[in-house]
Structure 1
Amino acid sequence: MAPRTATHARDTAPPAPAGRRAWLITVMIVAFMVINFADKSVLGLAAVPIMEELGLSNSTYGLISSSFYFLFSVSGLLVGFLSTRISSRILLLGMTVLWAVAQLPVLVVASVPTLMAGRILLGAAEGPAASMSMHALYKWFPPERRALPSALQIGGAALGMLIAAPVVTWLIDGFGWRSAYAVLAAVSAAWALVWWRVGHDGPYDHQHTGTGSGGPRLPYRRILRTGTVLGSIASAFGAAWALSLSHAWLPAYFRTQMDMSAAASATAISVMSGVGLVLLLTVCPFVDALKSHGVSSRWSSGAAQSIAVCVAGCAMAAFPFVDASAPRLVLIALAFGGIAIAIPLHYMTTAEVVPAAQRGAVFGIVAGIGTLPGLVAPFLTGHLIDAADTQTAGYTTAFLVAGAVMLTAGAFALTAIRPERDAQRLGLGTEPGAPG
């Protein structure tokens, strides 16, 4: 692959990131992701009391959980394309305001329609959250410095569960499940106020790249047909299947299948999230180190995300057959926490085959397609539980299906992701994700 000339690099390189401001934006985006996943997890953490109060079947609860994803992918796609024209500052502000509004319907009337309405609105507002906050973060860091900020951004998701599980459970047990919705609405609104004051687009915005029009562009069909983008979507798909199950069904599984109290279930979820956070903060900097020593992106970020999804899939299929509590919990932590590695890395591999001016739109497409399991997995799980002879048998079938999906997705990603080859075929040079 022919390297770019030094003159070209000087002509197209944007200014260096603004030190403290770059890390302030990183802190705000980590907080954004913490709130995002706390909002997303509240229904699952309150599943048992809500089902008991409203008399919901597993299938009905699964449908409510899946309703979160009715507009999730569509909004991710639409906002991804809007990001080429609208500031990340405005987009993230609008999302968090809608998060606050989405928590309010159940505070007025607690019913299946209001639960679904709130979840649909929340899903529409959160669909672009991960991809657009990553896009906003990338505007502050050059390609060779993105692994740690990316890990911190996705680490905010694990931190969200780490914090939300005990805090939201404490609110539910002490003040009723509605109190958790009210507090999360207030927190989302508070973040929006702070972001409006401090949030700005960074020097690696596409407007600073190449020409004033935003640098080189390619037909989207060419980008989306590369093995790297397709493989990145596959790894996102496998990770999202596990992630949607963890939000919708894992708290209920701990309560009903492992006879845990609400507090013990919250602790187990926090530990699992901690495992994901440790993996993120360990593996992602290691990926940067590998790249700095000349290891290709295919074998550093590409193989890491693919293998993580495959290993998590194996753990997912295995843990229902383990009787001892401690080994089962270890496998559960690996199944639901191990996929955390794949989430920032599939953005990194995608960014390497996308011109900076089109990065937000392609991130939206990858996120939109990659998160489609959320539309299927929670409802399918509820249906399998109701259709089985016992709840235990239903859960076992659901986790076997999840494991099969994850293994297939991870194996495909391992063979398809080849950023250097695809960047060369697209004529993007050695740093396609970089500005210029």
Structure 2
Amino acid sequence: MAEVSTAPPRPAPGGPRTGDGVRAWTVTALLVVFMMVNFADKSVLGLAADEIRADLGLNATQFGLANGAFFLLFSVAAILVGMAADRLSPKTLLLLMAVLWSVAQVPAAIGGGLAVLVASRVLLGAAEGPAFPVAQHATLSWFPDHRRNLPGALVTLGVTLGVIVSAPTLSWVIQHHGWRAALWVLAAVGLVWAAAWAVLGADGRHAVAGKDAPAPVPAPAPDRADAPYRRILATRTWAGATLAYFTSYWTVALMLVWLPSYLRGALGYTAAEAGTVVVAPWAVGALVLLAQAGITGRMMRRGAGGRRARGWVGGALLAVGAVCCLAVPLADGAAAKTVLIALGFGFGGSYATVAATTVAELAPPARAGGALGVMNGVVTAAGLAAPAFVGALVDARGTAGYQQAVVVSGLLLAVGAAASFLLVDPARDAARPAR
């Protein structure tokens, strides 16, 4: 298949599109906030790790398993709802998810022990599992391929902004009102977002040609439009992007669940300091995401294909993250280790946009939601494994286990970087006929 044209799309023949640009960016802004709420929900237990362990009498392994329970149905829901997004309204799916998030917070907020906490997190994980692929699908459907890098990066940036905003805020709530009060706060915020989305949300024109409006870009060739999921998932591009994203998500899971405890237990930060310092890798990640979007967009406007603009750029991000994580044992002092961790996790955790836009380029519109959903389902299995793995290390090795977990993350990121460099080439794989 030829390189994707960088020429502006032709206006839709169905009539003028005045106001579509404003609506597209309104939807994008709402979905940025959607992902902020999503990751605030994920991060709250990590911020309250010491308080929860003391309150419920949990060791590190038990706490890791409780956090891993969040991902028990996460992957399955991501796959099923991601595929449903190809047939149902993303607006409706996103609204239902946001309402369920708020409902899922209530049992643990009311009271109960480990069983209630685990059940609440399993339900929350099932409701949040499809969030990223459906949000990306809903956002990218408003933009043609050559304009997708910035909105895709902004939605991913919502992950970072969610932690940056919630970490100090929820830490204050936890310290002054308890960890259950923080769950009530998150339930209320989720309902407010759902109300705003019900009024302002909308489905885009690029999702399914002919459903809501004529497609504003040339339709894919028949063989590509009819490509079965098995053909898409068997490509080297999908496999490489998925493996790279898996290693990136491993670092994200580690940051969410164990980084606050690492800062407090091994590096000597107070609870208040840790609530602020924990923002550092997410802030680095935000800058990296924006830089990646700018570099990728510039390269594609100049005619570069997805192999270089997405596979190589994404691989470089993971490689930098790997080097920084592997250097942590060589650093002296808490400050030096904190800087390396911030850079390692910030760069290493920034592959999501590359993965999403790569799949959007690889798959035809009628298969993009499902392909993203299956990818997210595979990738988020890292969230099931990483918390329990690190918990077991901490129980076995004490505070030294945290640093060993960082080294393991560095090794995984190196594997992900190699996969992105060597396997990702969406133009090559999209050009192959359906079988």
Bin the TM-score by the shorter chain.
Answer: over 0.9
* Contact map agreement 1:154 1:340 (CA 8 A) in 2: no
* Paired position in structure 1 for 2:171: 169
* Contact map agreement 2:244 2:415 (CA 8 A) in 1: no
* Contact map agreement 2:232 2:363 (CA 8 A) in 1: yes
* Paired position in structure 2 for 1:189: 191
Q: Which moved more, 1:234-243 or 1:314-323?
A: 314-323
Partner Cα distance (1:228, 1:308) in 2? 17
* Paired position in structure 2 for 1:401: 408
**Residue 368 in 1 paired to residue 368 in 2?**
no
Letter in 2 for 1:283: Q
* Paired position in structure 1 for 2:422: 415
* Paired position in structure 2 for 1:259: 268
* Paired position in structure 1 for 2:101: 99
Q: When the two structures are superposed, what TM-score results if normalisation uses the length of structure 2? A: 0.92
Partner Cα distance (2:303, 2:179) in 1? 51
* Contact map agreement 1:96 1:191 (CA 8 A) in 2: yes
Partner Cα distance (1:320, 1:55) in 2? 31
Structure 2 residue aligned with 1:234, among 237, 243, 251?
A: 243
Matches within 5 A, 1:322-361: 322-361=331-370
* Contact map agreement 1:257 1:392 (CA 8 A) in 2: yes
* Contact map agreement 1:230 1:413 (CA 8 A) in 2: no
Residues 4/307 of structure 1: CA separation in 2 closer, same or farther (3 Å cut): closer
* Contact map agreement 1:33 1:154 (CA 8 A) in 2: yes
Partner Cα distance (1:314, 1:122) in 2? 34
* Paired position in structure 1 for 2:150: 148
Query: How far 1:194 sits from its partner (Å)?
Result: 1.0
Query: How far 1:207 sits from its partner (Å)?
Result: 3.6
* Paired position in structure 2 for 1:386: 395
Partner Cα distance (1:305, 1:4) in 2? 19
Aligned residues: 423
Residues 54/294 of structure 1: CA separation in 2 closer, same or farther (3 Å cut): same
* Paired position in structure 2 for 1:159: 161
* Paired position in structure 2 for 1:288: 297
| 1:328-385 superposed Cα distances (whole Å, 9 cap, x missing partner) | 1111111211134311011111111101111101010111111111111100111111
Matches within 5 A, 1:105-144: 105-144=107-146
Query: Which stretches in structure 2 are left out of the alignment for 5+ residues?
Result: none
Query: How far 1:12 sits from its partner (Å)?
Result: 8.9
Partner Cα distance (1:202, 1:283) in 2? 24
Q: Which moved more, 1:297-306 or 1:40-49?
A: 297-306
Query: How far 1:305 sits from its partner (Å)?
Result: 1.2
Partner Cα distance (1:198, 1:335) in 2? 37
| 1:394-433 superposed Cα distances (whole Å, 9 cap, x missing partner) | 2233222222222112212210001121122247xxxxxx
Partner Cα distance (2:4, 2:422) in 1? 27
Structure 1 residue aligned with 2:73, among 71, 80, 87?
A: 71
Residues 13/121 of structure 1: CA separation in 2 closer, same or farther (3 Å cut): farther
Q: Which moved more, 1:269-278 or 1:128-137?
A: 269-278
Percent identical residues? 39
Q: CA RMSD in A?
A: 2.4
| 1:299-342 superposed Cα distances (whole Å, 9 cap, x missing partner) | 11111112212221232232144222222111111121113431
Partner Cα distance (2:13, 2:252) in 1? 37
Letter in 2 for 1:362: A
Letter in 2 for 1:239: S
Letter in 1 for 2:50: V
Residues 112/13 of structure 1: CA separation in 2 closer, same or farther (3 Å cut): farther
Partner Cα distance (1:318, 1:111) in 2? 39
| 1:13-34 superposed Cα distances (whole Å, 9 cap, x missing partner) | 9986811111110110000011
Partner Cα distance (1:115, 1:91) in 2? 25
| 1:21-55 superposed Cα distances (whole Å, 9 cap, x missing partner) | 11110110000011001011000000011111111
**Residue 89 in 1 paired to residue 81 in 2?**
no
Partner Cα distance (1:309, 1:288) in 2? 19
* Paired position in structure 2 for 1:432: none
Structure 1 residue aligned with 2:61, among 35, 38, 59?
A: 59
> Any idea what SS the aligned residue of 1:36 has?
helix
Q: When the two structures are superposed, what TM-score results if normalisation uses the length of structure 1? A: 0.92
